[in-house]
Structure 1
């Protein structure tokens, strides 16, 4: 993995697996308006309170991928999107297809621009700018996630590391014990 980025996010293998949960993906995805509203709240409550609200949302965004259990299967669209993002973040060590990488970079830029437009709207107190930024961010992020699914589907068997992410060890002793108990 690109160790620098992963350390920055504080995400290890277990956290990535937990983040692949539908609860983690979709509650985190739904958090953007709360972040914008936390910043925008300075227009009503002042900057100190808005900073507190914003800090609470940031703590939630950090905690979110750690709170939910890993899914039983990683075949859902959202789980494959998370695993694809993990593959994409590792692209300097194990390259991903050029066209998919280019699409991901462009869509990441679109989502990023939308995010900053929304934040600027929240800072300036402009609800239309904030809503427009959120809409652009969501459109860019959904398209980005679709590319992440494609990257994961293309790369999941391209390297043993990626193949291992969805494996769960089986306890052979437990299996034989189950059979023995049923026979006895």
Structure 2
């Protein structure tokens, strides 16, 4: 994403509505039980929503909300995550990323074998750890970005 898309994605409507993507994806994949190969249509719609979402909203009017700070912090982290002044965040973010990956593997395996407990556990782990990472990105933004991060 370029800086303009990041600015649009920082809109809290974009950030919060993206939280819907994993549950919608799980339902879309699971729908193959009910509608067979037609399930590719809802899967494609969810994938389109994933791409369109950060592009649909205008930049936020203010950065005084948790989601906007989290998205801007993520932008900073992706650009400067190796900086010495951010090094204290790296172990936590690494461990949360490993947990998110484990949850994603569990989610995808559950969807492949149509196992409800595995799917819902993987979904919960993935979403909770992703939100925890986002909370850490708020911290990154608060430490590094306030006053220096622009919205486009």
Q: 1:98/1:164 Cα in 2 relative to 1: closer, same or farther (>3 Å)?
A: closer
Corresponding position: 1:165 with 2:144: no
Q: Which of residues 98, 109, 112 in structure 1 aligns to 2:101?
A: 112
Q: 1:134/1:93 Cα in 2 relative to 1: closer, same or farther (>3 Å)?
A: closer
Per mean C-alpha deviation after superposition, the further-off stretch among 87-96 and 69-78 is 87-96
**By percentage of residues, which structure has more helix?**
2
Instruction: Decide which structure has the larger Cα Rg and report it.
Output: 1
Q: 1:81/1:130 Cα in 2 relative to 1: closer, same or farther (>3 Å)?
A: same
**TM-score, normalisation: structure 2:** 0.91
Q: Which of residues 2, 19, 23 in structure 2 aligns to 1:12?
A: 2
Corresponding position: 1:83 with 2:68: no
- The whole-number CA distance in structure 1 between the counterparts of 2:81 and 2:70 is 19
Unaligned runs of 5+ residues in structure 2 are none
What's the Cα RMSD here?
Answer: 1.8
**TM-score, normalisation: structure 1:** 0.76
Which 4+ residue blocks in structure 1 deviate beyond 6 angstroms?
A: none
Q: 1:164/1:37 Cα in 2 relative to 1: closer, same or farther (>3 Å)?
A: closer
Contact in 2 for aligned 1:42/1:50 (Cα 8 Å): yes
How far 1:119 sits from its partner (Å)?
A: 1.7
How far 1:82 sits from its partner (Å)?
A: 0.2
Q: Which residue of 2 aligns with 1:6?
A: none
- The whole-number CA distance in structure 2 between the counterparts of 1:111 and 1:93 is 20
How far 1:52 sits from its partner (Å)?
A: 2.3
- The whole-number CA distance in structure 1 between the counterparts of 2:19 and 2:129 is 12
How far 1:91 sits from its partner (Å)?
A: 2.5
Q: Which of residues 12, 25, 31 in structure 1 aligns to 2:15?
A: 25
Unaligned runs of 5+ residues in structure 1 are 1-10, 168-184
Q: Would you say how many aligned residue pairs link Structure 1 and Structure 2?
A: 152
- C-alpha offsets along residues 94-122 of structure 1, whole Å, 9 cap, x if unaligned? 45522212211211221222122112111
Corresponding position: 1:140 with 2:129: yes
Greater relative contact order, per chain length (Cα 8 Å cut-off, separation 6+): 2
Corresponding position: 1:100 with 2:89: yes
Q: Which of residues 118, 121, 130 in structure 2 aligns to 1:129?
A: 118
